[in-house]
Amino acid sequence: MSNNNYLSIYAKSFNWAGFFLPKKIYLKCSNLYDFCRTVDNIADEEGEIQSKKSKFLAFKNSFHNKNFSDPIIKNMWSLIEDYEISKKIVDDLFDGVESDLKNKLEINSKKDLFIYSYRVAGTVGLMMAKILNIKDKNSLKSAIDLGIAMQLTNISRDIIEDSKRNRFYISHNFDSIKETLEIADLFYESSFASIKKIPLSFRFSILVARRIYRKIGHNILSKKTIENYNNSGKIFVTNIEKIIQTFLSLYDFMSYPAYALVTLTCLIVIARSILPSFLNRSFSISRTFSSPFLPISLFSAIFSSNSSSDNSVTLFLSFDIESILFSQ
């Protein structure tokens, strides 16, 4: 793992879920996040666009040239080789971040929004799935769906922050936020179907991450008006909400074939390792908000419809999804 350990600094929800991964796999996931965060930070840092473009291109070239003097690049190449991650996926990530390197970015269609979300986050979900030794094609597609769902949640949460960088992914009104989060819910639901094919020792962590990140969207929707949203600051999930969502993830876990002993073990781990550190604190519990799903027919021009043999919301994008899933 790199000395930065960006996972524990920038991604507290993911870091929480990572508690339930085997340590070795957590470190691998941390290395992946370090790489993705390093790329993203170049686009998000203060400075002139041209200067950031130059820095981005230098890092991209260092990656392609295997500059192992940079530990983040070295660790990423180790992941690529150990887990057979296609370099096409990494290039898609680069393309997504590079699209942010403009004086003004404005996305005007849902399809463009989904393509962007795939590139900056669906790719991360797919690479994470590779690290978790997921082989099933539909499960890999569902990993993309989960990444897109989380990115749509980020976009809905960060409208004000993004506008300061002259980035406009969706309109700054509550109807647009609500619609985007309803679409995100479709992706969250789609991702759930294939989680049962994730190796058992990794499954609970993914369920926790999915629940906690979805809760961010519910907390956004609980603001109800754009005025409340604008005055809320950064919307997040509190520690007590994370505990609640973790326990709800046990329900998700048990909805698959009965794993009573494993579930009991998870309960013991949570009770002994997480709860004591919070017992002496006071928390306020936000009301859980369940948003309705948009009819799938609204996306008939953008998505292929679900079938019994493929539970993922397969993106109708400009590339061959099969080549991304299985190419090297």
pLDDT band at 283 (very low <50, low <70, confident <90, very high): very low
Is the Cβ–Cβ distance between 249 and 233 less than 8 Å?
no
pTM over 0.85: no
| DSSP-assigned states of every residue in 30-50 | HHHHHHHHHHHHHHHSSS-HH
Contact (Cβ atoms closer than 8 angstroms) between residue 121 and residue 87 = no
CATH of domain 6-326: 1.10.600.10
As a whole number of angstroms, the distance between CA 210 and CA 212 comes to 6
Stronger pLDDT, 202 or 172, i.e. the higher one: 172
User: Strand locations in 48-166, DSSP E?
Assistant: 105-106
Domain ranges of the chain: 6-326
SS3 231: coil
Question: Token pair 């392609």 is at which residue?
Answer: 64
Q: Is the Cβ–Cβ distance between 283 and 236 less than 8 Å?
A: no
Give the tens place of pLDDT for each residue, 189-229.
988 877 878 888 888 999 999 999 999 999 999 999 999 99
- Cα 61 from Cα 68, distance rounded (Å): 12
Residue 267 has pLDDT above 70, yes or no: no
Based on the number of CB atoms within 10 Å of its own CB, is 307 exposed (0-12), middle (13-18) or buried (19 or more)?
A: exposed
Give pLDDT, residue 314.
Answer: 42
Q: How far apart are CA 256 and CA 50, in angstroms?
A: 51
Q: How many CB atoms lie within 10 A of CB 273?
A: 11
Kind and range of the H or E element at 10?
A: helix 6-10
Give dist(CA 58, CA 39) in Å, integer: 11
Checking if the pLDDT of 320 tops 60, the result is no
